[in-house]
Structure 1
């Protein structure tokens, strides 16, 4: 079967669920929080992927003060940063990241810098030179701000960027930025990415004749 090929000038990469499988940690921390709030754990898990924690809390408990959500988000980030048990790379991610060395790419994640660095290290993946993390945006995914900031920092038109994402919020953010989106893993399939892959095992990235990137899926 012939692989799908997409051309791009830069790749913008989500972290959790796309490069790093951190589901075990996310499940432990958020189900514990859900139980403390008297919320259904499955419903909470359907909301939290791809968003900053305080925004997930605002969706789940809309009557609560913003200050309380921010305070609990700080506690959640500390808990998640301290817990690395079960973190592994998404299949294919180590080779994929090795192929991107020296090519234009950026990490765009709803995690803060501390959590992002811990999880990438726990998965044995290199931390990109350019990363747009929670502290650097005023609006979290599904807002496109993070992806647009990364494109601007790389000096690449949004239409020439290819996003790799797994969550509904992330896919919506990438599409809203005017970018094409490669959906990674089972969560992505329901949210209409441009194309879909099971993981990163079959993804190959090379330079094309014009100096751009050729991505085979």
Structure 2
């Protein structure tokens, strides 16, 4: 969702910068965690006895700042082009955070939204995408995952899914996927009875 369908970067940066400052975490320590659940980031950066309070704090910061959350290029066209019954969001957000960001961005909400609260292990583990596929009634090997972060792409490959990467938050050379494009505005969707196909738009 974040960085793939919606641009929440300004809000994310504000929240995590404030949190890092409060916890004496440097920008270098915070780097490289995009696409991972907040709980995993907190666990990597702080001692165990600080986890609960630190996680509560970042959740509060993120839930109360949804300014500037908007759809990314191509998102509305993509969600309009694809049947709702074949689309899911699988996000590292908590359920409350996913709800407020979907509402703030005003993107159409799919029937299937899988959050970190719905799985035992978040990205880079495959659980979010396997859960989304199961709720869609789909074989994971017949699913396409659209991602903007290496952790999400690792999770998608582990789930056996095809991958499409967008360069909205991560440099192209760091994205290992079946197809890499700048954004969803750069792909063409075709839907038929056999499934959904995607191809890069030609200049």
The answer to whether the aligner puts 1:131 opposite 2:113 as a matched pair is: yes
Helix, strand or coil at the partner of 2:40 = helix
Normalised by the size of structure 2, how large is the TM-score? 0.90
Residues 163 and 180 in structure 1, CA contact (< 8 A), matched pair in contact too? yes
Match of 2:80 among 87, 98, 112: 98
Helix, strand or coil at the partner of 1:68 = helix
Helix, strand or coil at the partner of 1:46 = coil
Matches within 5 A, 1:1-217: 15-47=1-33, 49-61=34-46, 64-65=47-48, 68-186=50-168, 187=170, 189=172, 190-208=174-192, 210-217=193-200
Residues 35 and 41 in structure 1, CA contact (< 8 A), matched pair in contact too? no
Residues 25 and 86 in structure 1, CA contact (< 8 A), matched pair in contact too? yes
Q: Per-residue deviation at 1:103?
A: 4.3
Q: Which has the higher contact order (CA 8 A, sep 6+)?
A: 1
Runs of 4+ in structure 1 deviating by more than 4 angstroms, as ranges, are: none
Q: Which runs of 5+ in 2 are unaligned?
A: none
Helix, strand or coil at the partner of 2:100 = helix
Distance of 1:84 and 1:151 partners within structure 2: 28
Helix, strand or coil at the partner of 1:181 = strand
Residues 166 and 188 in structure 1, CA contact (< 8 A), matched pair in contact too? no
Q: Which runs of 5+ in 1 are unaligned?
A: 1-14
**CA deviation profile, 1:144-190 (whole Å, cap 9, x unmatched):** 01101111122211111100011111111001111111111151620
Q: Per-residue deviation at 1:26?
A: 0.9
Q: Per-residue deviation at 1:142?
A: 0.2
RMSD between aligned residues: 1.6
Counterparts in 2 of 1:175 and 1:81: CA distance versus 1, 3 Å: same
Normalised by the size of structure 1, how large is the TM-score? 0.85
Distance of 1:69 and 1:157 partners within structure 2: 36
